[in-house]
């Protein structure tokens, strides 16, 4: 199921011009600073806001087309929406909340599929409770269940974790991950938290001040240093697929294999060989000319400088390909050697006399990669 959005809208002085399409199931992050127009875009897809011009298409169904005067009613759009605050009906039990949308739906899910969703979300024990005595995390799981039971063609999640504390976030994130990994329906996930995006998203659409700036795979987009000054909290970094190679519960560390490179991270519960995703922020990577001795950082990786660019006067963004055996001439797009990004001050780059194709060492503290790992 693909989604294509090409709309313009005006709210007071705020002009929205969004243009993107999503071809794949899985999670697409709609990322941008507060006030950039993310909620407005998903309200337009859901039919809560009618744009001035443009078109919204879901699979082969046209939801909105200004030129052809098409504007499908909300309930006919087959769109599941989870708001930032769960917005459950306070006078209905959890059970009645869950089946509210499903009841009125002609394309009902089979009872066994409904049961699977309720079990997957771990809410079967809550069915007879009232929303006002649920925790924030439980409310969000019920809201997610309500959206899924209506059997939507797309799921819209508007900062579904932002009202929760870190412990509640950790409780919900695995449900989003399993939804993503089932790959049954496309999920548009609004967020302004880069670590959530790095953990969950497959694709990423970057929004700033009502405009879609860029659109692509999360692996490519998170490495884009040019987006950092534009999109507020955009924090350039690297997302790499890795695998749990071994682990030492006594020492409380796990060893990952990332394209042949061993990377030490704080202990993970995951079994050997579990595929995980590694997120390393560019500002957490140091560069050394020689392998440092007597240092607490656990990861000292031989790398070759393949790109240097000033992000502003004070800092440099440096791309580092794994390995010292790299033929620097052949490091164009054809090279599938993994690389990581480092952001350092121009002053230290000058002090170290860094230059293109130089063989150096990337120094990464183990703790900085914690919390951004997930099963692929």
> Is residue 40 part of the contact set for ligand ADP (CB under 6 A)?
yes
Residues 12-41 that bind Mg ion (CB under 5 A): 39
Sign, CA dihedral 219-220-221-225, equals positive
What is the secondary structure of 70-121 as a DSSP string? EE--GGGS-EEEE-SS----TTS-HHHHHHHHHHT-SSPPPHHHHHHHHHHT
On whether the CB atoms of residues 121 and 141 are closer than 8 A, the answer is yes
Question: Does 37 contact ligand ADP by CB under 6 A?
Answer: yes
- Tokens 């990786």 belong to residue: 301
Residues in contact with ligand ADP, counted by CB under 6 A, come to a total of 11
Strand order in the sheet with 261-266: 261-266, 253-258, 237-248, 275-281
Query: Of the ranges 38-46, 273-281, 326-334, 341-349, which one interacts with ligand ADP (CB under 6 A)?
Result: 38-46
Judged by CB under 6 A, does residue 39 bind ligand ADP? yes
Query: Among 30-38, 127-135, 284-292, 365-373, which window interacts with ligand ADP (CB under 6 A)?
Result: 30-38
Given 20, 22, 28, 38, the residue binding ligand ADP (CB under 6 A)? 38
Dist CA 59 CA 144 (whole Å): 22
Under rule CB under 6 A, residue 233 binds ligand ADP:
no
Q: Which stretch binds ligand ADP (CB under 6 A): 29-37, 94-102, 105-113, 124-132?
A: 29-37
Q: How many Å apart are CA 68 and CA 199, to the nearest integer?
A: 40
34 binding ligand ADP? (CB under 6 A): yes
Stretch that binds ligand ADP, among 8-16, 90-98, 105-113, 327-335 (CB under 6 A): 8-16
Report if residue 269 touches ligand ADP, rule: CB under 6 A.
no
Q: Which range of residues in 34-42, 241-249, 289-297, 308-316 is near ligand ADP by CB under 6 A? A: 34-42
- Regarding 232 and contact with ligand ADP (CB under 6 A), the answer is no
C-alpha Rg value of the chain to the nearest Å: 23
Whether the CB-CB separation of 375 and 181 falls below 8 Å is answered with yes
Q: Using CA atoms, how far apart are residues 30 and 205, in angstroms rounded to an integer?
A: 5
Is 36 near ligand ADP (CB under 6 A)? yes
Tokens 């700036």 sit at which residue?
A: 213
How near is the Cβ of 43 to ligand ADP at its closest, in Å?
7
Binding stretches for ligand ADP (CB under 6 A): 11-12, 14, 32, 34-40
- Interface residues with Mg ion (CB under 5 A)? 39
């Amino acid at each position: 199921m693909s989604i294509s959005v090409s709309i313009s809208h005006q709210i007071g002085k705020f002009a929205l011009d969004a243009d993107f399409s999503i071809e794949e199931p899985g999670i697409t992050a709609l990322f941008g600073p507060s006030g950039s127009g993310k909620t407005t875009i998903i309200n337009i897809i859901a039919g809560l806001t009618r744009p001035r011009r443009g078109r919204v298409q879901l699979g082969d169904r046209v939801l909105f087309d200004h030129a052809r005067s098409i504007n499908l009613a909300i309930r006919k759009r087959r769109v599941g929406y989870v708001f930032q605050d769960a917005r459950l009906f306070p006078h209905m039990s959890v059970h009645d909340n869950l089946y509210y949308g499903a009841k009125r739906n002609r394309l009902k899910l089979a009872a066994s599929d409904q049961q699977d969703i309720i079990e997957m979300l771990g809410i079967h024990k809550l069915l007879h409770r009232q929303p006002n005595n649920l925790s924030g995390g439980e409310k969000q799981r019920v809201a997610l269940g309500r959206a899924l039971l209506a059997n939507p063609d797309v799921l819209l999640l508007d900062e579904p974790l932002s009202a929760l504390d870190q412990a509640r976030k950790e409780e919900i994130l695995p449900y989003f991950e399993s939804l993503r990994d089932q790959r049954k329906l496309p999920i548009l996930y609004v967020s302004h938290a880069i670590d959530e995006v790095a953990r969950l998203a497959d694709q990423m659409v970057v929004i700033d001040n009502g405009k879609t700036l860029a659109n692509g795979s999360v692996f490519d987009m998170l490495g884009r240093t040019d987006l950092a000054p534009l999109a507020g909290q955009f924090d350039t970094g690297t997302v790499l697929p890795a695998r749990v190679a071994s682990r030492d519960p006594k020492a409380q560390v796990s060893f990952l294999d990332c394209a042949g490179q061993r990377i030490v991270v704080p202990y993970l519960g995951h079994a050997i060989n579990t595929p995980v995703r590694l997120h390393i922020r560019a500002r957490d990577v140091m560069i050394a000319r020689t392998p440092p001795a007597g240092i607490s950082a656990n990861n000292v990786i031989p790398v070759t400088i393949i790109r240097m660019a000033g992000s502003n006067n004070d800092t440099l963004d440096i791309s580092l390909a794994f390995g010292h055996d790299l033929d620097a001439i052949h490091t164009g797009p054809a090279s599938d050697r993994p690389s990581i990004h480092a952001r350092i001050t121009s002053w230290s780059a000058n002090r170290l006399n860094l230059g293109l194709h130089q063989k150096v060492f990337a120094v990464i503290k183990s703790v900085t990669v914690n919390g951004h790992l997930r099963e692929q």
